[in-house]
Amino acid sequence: KAKDQGRNAFQFYTTDMNIAVERRLAIEREIRQALRFGQFVLYYQPFVDFSSGKIVGAEALLRWNHPERGLVSPGEFIPVAEESGLIVPLGRWVLKTACFQARAIQKALQRDFTVSVNISARQLSEPDFLQLLEACLRESGLAPSSLELEVTESTLMEDVSRVIPMLEQLRQKGCGLAIDDFGTGYSSLSYLKRLPINSLKVDRSFVQDLPDDEEDKAITSLVVAMAKSLHYKVIVEGVESPEQHAFLTTCGCHLGQGYFYSRPVPLDQFMRLVQADARMSQ
Ligand code: C2E
Ligand code: MG
Ligand code: MG
Ligand code: MG
């Protein structure tokens, strides 16, 4: 009897697994098609300077304009893209598109403007990543200093000894490098000192309960003070309320990003936003 149950349980398990595998394969197939048919788009979310209140840059965030499911968030397909290796061609498309669009924003504004692009661990370990980066900059005419690459804390800590030399080469090219989602991984402070980064993005989870939560207040103030004394630029993610904005301003953060300023929006809408922002401060 126990044997029967065991067998049934096993059958149930394999069917479940088959469904999961099938689903993943279907998504992989769909991602390949989406790349071919141009269904991916970049949305932009502004970085706002706390001292001037002006938009100084933006993060490019990937969206999938799915013919049936509508706009799909990266959380739903980036993990599959990473596991399958499809993140490599997808990331290539993101980097190239972001460089060209950043250059277009600069031309429209007639001033410097920084665009930030998320890079996954898998992309960084591609032997030709540096060549890809150079090609994207050269073809688009974007200055390396106008491009910032965001790498999550967990990506950095995965293989520190191999990642550091790679990051050093990127920095030598003149690109900015940011640690994304800071505070959610396991980076030790001794590594932080060694990393050739120039910005640090404080994770949204620390901002969520500000300014009421005393512990989060203490943590954010401390992280900001530490980052500043290490001469990193501090960007705070997930600013949603005027109270959070006010608290973070007193903390001395450099840049804020969040729904309080704007949600991520398509390029044409972002252009209007940034142009209106530029006019307002003239
Ligand atoms: P991330 O790089 O930490 O990006 C910030 C995420 O927080 C974005 O989610 C953004 O829409 C969201 N966000 C911004 N402000 C607020 C706020 O005030 N409140 C709340 N609740 N959320 C806010 P999104 O666009 O869904 O992206 C999720 C993650 O997917 C990104 O996290 C990033 O890790 C990844 N991702 C996005 N685009 C790319 C890409 O082109 N390549 C790679 N490798 N990963 C990407
Ligand atoms: Mg990011
Ligand atoms: Mg982040
Ligand atoms: Mg995040």
What b/e string do you get for 102-140 counting C-beta neighbours within 10 Å, with b at 16 or more?
A: bbebbeeeeeebbbbbbbbbbbbebeebeebbeebbeeb
pLDDT confidence of residue 163: 84
Report, in angstroms and rounded to the nearest whole number, the Rg of the chain calculated over CA atoms.
Answer: 21
The pLDDT of residue 84 is above 60: yes
Which are the contacts of 167, defined by CB distance < 8 A and separation ≥ 6?
151, 156, 177, 195, 196, 197
Residue 190 has pLDDT above 80, yes or no: no
Length of the chain (residues): 282
Q: What is the chain's mean pLDDT, rounded?
A: 91
Separation CA 229–CA 192 (nearest Å): 12
pLDDT-derived band at 1, boundaries 50, 70, 90: very low
The answer on pLDDT for 21 being more than 90 is no
Looking at residue 134, what is its pLDDT? 97
| Ligand 1 in reach of 82 Cβ (< 6 A) | no
pLDDT, tens only, 104-140: 999 999 999 999 999 998 898 899 999 999 999 999 9
| CA 271 to ligand 2 centroid distance, Å | 20
Q: Is the pLDDT of residue 3 over 70?
A: no
- The pLDDT tens digits of the residues spanning 33-61 come to 999 999 999 999 999 999 999 999 999 99
Please give the biggest Cα pair distance in the chain. 81
Which residues touch 154 (CB under 8 Å, ≥6 apart)? 181, 184, 185, 186
Please list all protein residues whose beta carbon sits less than 5 angstroms from ligand 4, which is an ion: 181
Average pLDDT over residues 170-194: 86
Q: How far is the CA of 203 from the centre of ligand 3 (A)?
A: 6
The Cα–Cα gap between 149 and 177 comes to 5
List, in sequence order, every residue forming a beta bridge with 42; answer none if it has no partner: 62
Percent of the chain predicted with pLDDT > 90 = 74
Contact 264 CB / ligand 1 (< 6 Å): yes
| Beta strand segments in the chain, E | 40-49, 55-66, 70-72, 114-118, 147-152, 176-182, 199-202, 233-236, 255-256, 265-266
Which protein residue has the closest C-alpha to ligand 1 atom 42?
118
Q: Is the beta carbon of 78 within 6 A of some atom in ligand 1?
A: yes
Q: Is the pTM of this model over 0.95?
A: no
Q: In which band, very low, low, confident or very high, does the pLDDT at 2 lie, cut at 50, 70 and 90?
A: very low
Structure tokens given for 203: 């994770």
3-state secondary structure of 72: strand
> Would you tell me the crossing angle of helices 214-229 and 242-251 to the nearest 10 degrees?
40
- The pLDDT value given to residue 206: 92
Percentages helix, strand, coil for the chain (3-state, rounded to 5) are: 55, 20, 25
Q: Which atom of ligand 1 is nearest to the CA of 152?
A: 34
Of the pLDDT bands very low, low, confident and very high (cuts 50, 70, 90), residue 232 is very high
Distance 60 CA to ligand 2 centre (A): 8
The predicted structure's pLDDT at residue 159: 77
